[in-house]
Amino acid sequence: MQTDDSRHTRGSRDAWLEAAFELLLESGVDSVRILPLAKRLNLSRTSFYWFFKDREALLAALVERWREKNTLGLAGQTEAYAETISEAILNVFDCWLNPALFDSQLEFAMRSWALQSNEVSHEIETADKTRIDALTRMFTRFGHDELAANVRGRTIYLTQIGYISMNSQESLEVRMQRIPSYVEIFTGQVPQQRELRRFYSRHDYQLPGG
């Protein structure tokens, strides 16, 4: 059992992971090394080994946490309750506005890392397939045939990955104003005002004049 004193001198597994994520986001995977992490946490280098066998084990843990957060977060939103396909799409759009569901900065960092690592590139390919499959199932649930569902799911996903990969920046107001048109393009249906109001409310946003 880890005592309060040992936690103070060794930190915790989560603390090491969070620090590693910070370095990954700030400077890329090459900066994620044991000594810089120890300095950031003001801990001894040897305390790292209470939680991870080596740097490779830490990097594997980073990949696992990314998978759990972004892939499971997106897949979960495709399965959230919705009465219409428009409402289902708005549930997915929550991911693009709520880092607790899908962290776009982390996604960008992981895709940058994949350019240097075949193993991480494979993880990205697997995640892409899992996410597109989840979006496809969402569309089939609302009556689309398999091919159309897959094309629509791919269109939504690749559009957002394009935003992330290009590091595209939009103000919240601009993005919210575009939401109804995105829903219509992706689904072929105009979203209902009550659906949009619920979506805007979830993100503490009110359209000007609304």
Instruction: Band the pLDDT of 2: cuts 50, 70, 90.
Output: very low
From CA 200, how far away is CA 50, in angstroms rounded?
45
Supply the CATH classification number for the domain 1-52.
1.10.10
Helix axes 146-165, 85-97, angle to 10 degrees: 20
What pLDDT does 207 receive? 73
Residue 6 has pLDDT above 60, yes or no: no
What pLDDT does 1 receive? 44
Average pLDDT, the chain: 92
What pLDDT does 209 receive? 60
For range 82-92, the mean pLDDT: 98
- Structural domain boundaries in the chain: 1-52, 63-202
What pLDDT does 169 receive? 87
pLDDT tens for 94-141 read 999 999 999 999 999 999 999 999 999 999 999 999 999 999 999 999
How far from 147 is each of 4, 37, 154, CA to CA, in Å? Answer: 56, 47, 11
For range 182-206, the mean pLDDT: 95
pLDDT tens for 15-47 read 999 999 999 999 999 999 999 999 999 999 999
16-43 b/e (C-beta count within 10 Å ≥ 16 → b): bbebbbebbeeeebeebebeebbeebeb
pTM, rounded to two decimals: 0.89
H runs (alpha helix) in the chain: 4-10, 13-27, 34-41, 55-66, 72-78, 85-97, 104-114, 118-141, 146-165, 172-187, 193-202
Which of 96, 104, 35, 32 has the alpha carbon at shortest distance from 62? Answer: 32
For range 147-160, the mean pLDDT: 97
Residue 190 has pLDDT above 80, yes or no: yes
